[in-house]
């Protein structure tokens, strides 16, 4: 009798984005002429930069000829890409991360989920609240939690509330936690972590032998020079942190699929008997046993993101979305809304007017403005009363959205 993993049954049925889709579809059916603008899901809208397009065409041509054909590549990624990452994202910023500490993958969503494979099931896990739902759901699937309570929080996880009251910067936990998910620039709040904030986390992790899962998928949107792009800018972080990076939001790879994870060789974990073991060989083993490398064509495209032309074109893309964020932020502020984020991040996090519940505000905005955003409560209990708008859209849509927003809540 084949037995299922019953932890899956603890997962709440109504995942955020399907519920949004359900409500939007219902609205569109009743209002077929409404031109709905979607600022909900954080998906890029602009085409791939020309340097990347060119590199992928060349790679497709290589695959078309026997002499330049590529079969199985190294599971960890081709040296040309790992070297480019090490050089540009780390060494170029004075960070000592080597190519053999970089694991190329097909997405940070996969990596932040799969990373739990190499850790025991007896760790105490802390997440920010609101939070990217994948961190929580993958812990539920792995059996690290009890059932969910009425507020949607799962027993056994340590939730760290991020609200206006603490400036969306959670307090360091008073209890000992073993695995800590941090996302900066933050999805969904758009908050960033100062050097001091990150240092306090690294100090905590080193003191408690914890490991930080640092999701830096949005680092390209940092314009403030005092804000670290990588947790490894903090001394000692290579002994307590794994970093997740992606080409999705900077190079527009949400549909092209490429990301990477940094597992420093200095990082260690413990066995039940207290023996110390390096983490990098465990991830290497997982990656080479349960993964077979990213498409050669896609890796060639990702590598082109580091060429001179690629860097310039990506810079332009990022500035375009940041300008969208500014327009949204300022337009909403003009409408009297309290707005957070949207400066070093592509997300606008706003307090719902009149203390409306997140889902009620979602319905108002959809009905009156034909606008779709994401209810803050969908990201966690502490997101109730907040709402997320994404800056990933065309300029025309963003300008139109601001006007509609102002009318809808007027």
- When binding is defined by CB under 8 A, the residue of 76, 169, 250, 256 that contacts a second copy is 256
396 sits near a second copy (criterion: CB under 8 A): no
| Binding map of a second copy across residues 335-374, x = CB under 8 A, - = no contact | ----------------------------------------
Asked whether the beta carbons of 40 and 403 are under 8 A apart, the reply is no
206 sits near a second copy (criterion: CB under 8 A): no
CA distance 61 to 63: 5
279 sits near a second copy (criterion: CB under 8 A): yes
- Cβ distance to a second copy smaller for residue 93 or 290: 290
Place of tokens 């500035």: 319
> Under rule CB under 8 A, which residues in 156-185 are in contact with a second copy?
176, 178-179
Q: Is 106 exposed, middle or buried (0-12, 13-18, 19+ CB in 10 A)?
A: middle
3-class DSSP assignment, residue 270: strand
DSSP state of 224: -
3-class DSSP assignment, residue 110: helix
- Cβ distance to a second copy smaller for residue 119 or 260: 119
CB atoms within 10 A of CB 254: 17
In the beta sheet, which residues pair with residue 245?
Answer: 260
Asked whether the beta carbons of 327 and 141 are under 8 A apart, the reply is no
282 sits near a second copy (criterion: CB under 8 A): yes
329 sits near a second copy (criterion: CB under 8 A): no
138 sits near a second copy (criterion: CB under 8 A): yes
- Cβ distance to a second copy smaller for residue 41 or 148: 41
> Under rule CB under 8 A, which residues in 23-42 are in contact with a second copy?
41
CA pseudo-torsion sign 134, 197, 39, 299: negative
What's the closest the beta carbon of residue 181 comes to a second copy, in angstroms? 13
- Cβ distance to a second copy smaller for residue 274 or 355: 274
- When binding is defined by CB under 8 A, the residue of 36, 60, 79, 164 that contacts a second copy is 60
**Cis ω for the linkage preceding 130 (within 30 of 0):** yes
* Count of residues engaged in binding a second copy, rule: CB under 8 A: 82
Q: Convert 226-237 to b/e letters by CB count within 10 Å (16 or more is b).
A: ebbbbbbbbeeb
394 sits near a second copy (criterion: CB under 8 A): yes
261 sits near a second copy (criterion: CB under 8 A): no
| Binding map of a second copy across residues 94-133, x = CB under 8 A, - = no contact | ------------xx-xx--xx--xxxxxxx----------
DSSP state of 244: E
- When binding is defined by CB under 8 A, the residue of 38, 245, 257, 329 that contacts a second copy is 257
72 sits near a second copy (criterion: CB under 8 A): yes
Q: For helices 50-63 and 308-334, what crossing angle results, to 10°?
A: 130
């Amino acid at each position: 009798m084949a037995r299922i993993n019953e932890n899956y049954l603890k997962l709440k049925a109504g995942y955020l984005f399907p519920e949004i889709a359900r409500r939007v579809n219902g609205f569109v059916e009743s209002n077929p002429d409404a031109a709905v603008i979607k600022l909900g899901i954080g998906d890029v809208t602009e085409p791939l930069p020309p340097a990347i397009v060119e590199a992928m065409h060349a790679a497709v041509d290589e695959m078309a000829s026997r002499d330049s054909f590529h079969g199985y590549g190294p599971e960890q990624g081709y040296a040309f890409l790992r070297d480019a990452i090490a050089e540009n994202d780390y060494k170029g910023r004075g960070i000592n991360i080597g190519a053999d500490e970089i694991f190329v993958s097909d997405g940070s969503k996969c990596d932040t989920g799969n990373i739990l494979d190499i850790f025991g099931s007896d760790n105490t896990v802390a997440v920010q609240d609101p939070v990217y739902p994948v961190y929580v759901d993958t812990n539920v699937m792995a059996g690290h939690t009890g059932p969910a309570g009425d507020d949607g929080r799962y027993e056994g996880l340590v939730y760290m509330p991020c609200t206006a009251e603490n400036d969306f910067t959670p307090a360091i936990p008073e209890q000992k936690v073993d695995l800590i998910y941090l996302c900066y620039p933050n999805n969904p709040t758009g908050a960033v972590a100062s050097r001091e904030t990150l240092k306090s986390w690294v100090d905590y992790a080193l003191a408690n032998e914890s490991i930080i899962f640092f999701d830096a998928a949005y680092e390209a949107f940092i314009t403030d020079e005092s804000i670290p792009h990588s947790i490894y800018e903090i001394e000692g972080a290579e002994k307590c942190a794994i970093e997740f990076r992606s080409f999705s939001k900077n190079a527009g790879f949400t549909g092209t699929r490429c990301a990477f994870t940094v597992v420093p060789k200095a990082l260690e974990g413990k066995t039940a008997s207290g023996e110390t073991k390096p983490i990098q060989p465990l991830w290497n083993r997982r990656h080479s046993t349960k993964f077979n490398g990213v498409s050669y064509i896609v890796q060639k495209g990702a590598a082109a993101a580091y060429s001179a032309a690629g860097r310039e074109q990506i810079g332009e893309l990022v500035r375009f979305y940041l300008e969208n964020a500014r327009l949204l932020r300022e337009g909403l502020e003009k409408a009297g809304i309290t707005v957070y984020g949207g400066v070093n991040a592509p997300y606008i996090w706003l307090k719902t007017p009149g203390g409306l519940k997140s889902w009620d505000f979602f319905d108002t905005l959809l009905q009156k403005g034909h606008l779709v955003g994401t209810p803050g409560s969908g990201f966690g209990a502490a997101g109730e009363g907040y709402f997320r708008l994404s800056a990933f859209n065309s300029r025309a849509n963003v300008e139109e959205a601001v006007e509609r927003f102002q009318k809808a809540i007027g």
